[in-house]
Amino acid sequence: MDKSCIKCGRCLAVCPVYKASGYERISPRGKLNLIDFYQKHLLFPSFIFQETISACILCKRCEEKCILHTPISKIIHQTREKLWPLQKKQYYRSWVVNKFLASYQKNLGLWLRLYTLCKHIFPLPFDLASSPFLSSRRFYPSKKAKANIAIFSGCVTNFLYPNLGDKLIKLLSKLGYNIFIPPQQTCCGLMAYTLGDKETALDLAKKNVEAFGHLSIDFIITPCASCYHQLKTFLPYQEAKISEKVIELSQFLQEKPLSFLPLNKKITWHDPCHLRYHHNIWQGPRILLKKAGYEFEESSPEGMCCGQGGSFALNFPELAKQIFRRRKETIEKTGAELVITSCMGCLIQLKAGLGKQQVKHILELFA
Ligand code: SF4
Ligand code: SF4
């Protein structure tokens, strides 16, 4: 580890968690330092240590500043995997969500009954859709049939925003593609994987490989930037050659003939960390929004986390709020009346903080 960090502190300037908290302990440098002690068996995995390792969005922003190109988020993630047997007891909220995502397909009726019973006691910041996206959509043939595309819906589209899945179907149908929606697909496993629960992530990936592996398709498209990241980078998807078919929405749409809905509002774009820092995808959505002719103003030229970060906002709500507050200020400075994004986690966070009407998924802009 000594060679992985010279403690220069460059990473501190961009880490959203450090900037929100001001604590060296949970800065990238502080984490690497403690992980070094832990790996050398000089540190017991106490609650404070576990909290330190959990307090990271895994956004990767720190890595672009690191003078040694240290894979900071990978080191933090690997430590989480080691700590998972202890972590799941400490962070029960994310554990419950993780369990739900891992098993909802099998026990959907039970989970929905539980939700109905508990929603008045533990109100959620969102409403579940009356009918999940995957419950009725299957195959949409096209007369033009340019290619075969499968949709990976992801959990948020499935349960909260089936309308976004329908918008993707409509868009791809208009462009002339056959659309397949395998009903056996399930959660991409990102939540489980980032928590350190690799076993569950592997189990979910196996189900998705079974659902998509046999299809004769050219591309897989998902409305969620975070699902895109997991499908593109998780080893079982790569080995099954699923990853090579996965294409990011804005990149897929770049050269397509598109018609946009009219908008008389100034808009801005919110970069999902998974697109911006993991895949260096940031120009594509901006090109689309400018092509649409909308009044566009940049609110985060280098990207900026919204604080959601999968399980991060569940486990560290106060820090998540502070990170969001900073993002909100940058949006407000532009005078933008509408924020556009393409990650379901960001969508939930931004809608909760800015208001439902002030945030849209990019799919909602197409006529
Ligand atoms: S991955 Fe993001 S949240 Fe984690 S230490 Fe790096 S900059 Fe901070
Ligand atoms: S930028 Fe890299 S070398 Fe410098 S303190 Fe951060 S992790 Fe260490």
Quick one: what percent of the chain has pLDDT higher than 70?
Answer: 91
Residue range of the domain that includes 231: 133-247
Are 68 and 152 contained in the same domain?
A: no
DSSP state of 259: -
**From the CB of 326, is ligand 1 less than 6 Å away?**
no
CB atoms within 10 A of CB 38: 20
260, part of any domain: no
pLDDT at 11: 97
Instruction: Pick the more confident residue, 125 or 60.
Output: 60
Give the pLDDT score at 131: 83
The arithmetic mean of pLDDT across residues 115-134, rounded, is 71
CA neighbor of 307 nearest in space, from 333, 267, 273, 256: 273
Taking the centre of ligand 2 as the mean of its atom positions, its distance from the CA of residue 357, in whole angstroms, is: 40
223: in domain: yes
Q: Is the CB of 170 under 6 A from ligand 1?
A: no
* Whether pLDDT at 2 is above 60: no
Q: Per the structure block, which two tokens stand in for 7?
A: 């403690």
How confident is the model over 177-227, as pLDDT tens digits? 999 999 999 999 999 999 999 999 999 999 999 999 999 999 999 999 999
pLDDT of residue 4: 86
Q: What percent of the chain is helix, strand and coil (3-state, nearest 5)?
A: 55, 10, 40
What is the count of structural domains for the chain? Answer: 3
Atom of ligand 2 nearest to the CA of 65: 1
Q: Is the pLDDT assigned to residue 12 strictly greater than 60?
A: yes
Task: Tell me whether residue 33 is in a domain.
Answer: yes
16 with 83, same domain? Answer: yes
Whether 138 and 243 share a structural domain:
yes
Mutate to test the pocket of ligand 1, among 10, 29, 59 (most ligand atoms within 8 A of CB): 59
**Structure confidence at residue 115 as a pLDDT band (50, 70, 90):** low
Our answer on whether the CB atom of 72 is closer than 6 Å to any ligand 1 atom is yes
Measured CA to CA, the distance from residue 179 to residue 163 in angstroms comes to: 16
Q: What is the pLDDT of residues 296-351, one digit of tens each?
A: 999 999 999 999 998 899 889 999 999 999 999 999 999 999 999 999 999 999 99
Residues 139 and 231 in one domain: yes
Our mutation pick for probing the ligand 1 site, out of 31, 33, 53, 57, counting the most ligand atoms within 8 A of Cβ, is 57
Q: Is 331 in the pocket of ligand 1 (CB under 6 A)?
A: no
Inter-residue contact 323 to 350 (CB < 8 Å):
no
> Is 127 among the domain residues?
no
Asked, for residue 106, whether it belongs to a domain, the answer is no
Q: Residue 366 carries which DSSP code? A: B
Q: Is 206 inside a domain boundary?
A: yes
Question: What is the pTM for the complete model shown?
Answer: 0.92
* pLDDT above 60: residue 1: no
pLDDT in the model for residue 288: 96
As separate numbers, helices (DSSP H) first and strands (DSSP E) second, the chain gives 19, 8
Residue 104 is encoded by which pair of tokens? 């909802």
Nearest CA to ligand 2 atom 3: 5
Residue 61 CB less than 6 A away from ligand 1: yes
Q: What is the pLDDT of residue 25?
A: 95
The residue from 90, 113, 147 where one domain ends is: 90
Residue 264: what pLDDT?
A: 92
DSSP code at position 341: E
pLDDT of residue 38: 96
Regarding whether 230 and 323 lie in a shared domain, the answer is: no
Strands 178-180, 139-140: pairing is antiparallel
Instruction: State how far the Cα of 101 lies from the Cα of 311, in Å rounded to an integer.
Output: 12
Task: Name the pLDDT band for 110 (thresholds 50, 70, 90).
Answer: low
- Res 367 pLDDT > 80: yes
Last residue of a domain, one of 90, 122, 148: 90
Q: Is the CB of 7 under 6 A from ligand 2?
A: yes
Q: Dump the DSSP string for 185-246.
A: ----SHHHHHHT-HHHHHHHHHHHHHHHHTS--SEEE-S-HHHHHHHHHSHHHHHTT-GGGB
- Regarding whether 308 and 235 lie in a shared domain, the answer is no
Q: Are residues 149 and 63 in the same domain?
A: no
242 and 270 housed in the same domain: no
Is the pLDDT at 112 greater than 80, yes or no? no
Averaged pLDDT of the chain: 91
Are residues 230 and 148 part of one domain? yes
The answer for residues whose C-beta is within 8 angstroms of residue 367's C-beta and 6 or more apart is 259, 260, 261
The residue out of 90, 122, 144 marking a domain boundary is 90
Can you point out the beta strands (E) in the chain?
139-140, 148-151, 178-180, 219-221, 266-269, 295-296, 338-341, 359-361
Same domain flag for 305 and 335: yes
Q: Is the pLDDT of residue 231 over 90?
A: yes
Helix (H, G, I), strand (E, B) or coil at 160: coil
Q: Within a domain: residue 46?
A: yes
CATH number of the domain encompassing residue 184 = 3.40.50
Q: Is the pLDDT at 104 greater than 80, yes or no?
A: no
Residue 99: which pLDDT band, with cuts at 50, 70 and 90?
Answer: confident
Q: Which pLDDT score is estimated for 74?
A: 96
120 pLDDT band, cuts 50/70/90, is low
Work out which ligand 1 atom sits closest to the CA atom of 28.
Answer: 5
Which pLDDT belongs to residue 132?
87
Provide the pLDDT confidence category of residue 106 given band limits of 50, 70 and 90: low
Same domain, 351 and 271: yes
Question: Is 261 part of a structural domain of the chain?
Answer: no
| 226 and 276, same domain (yes or no) | no
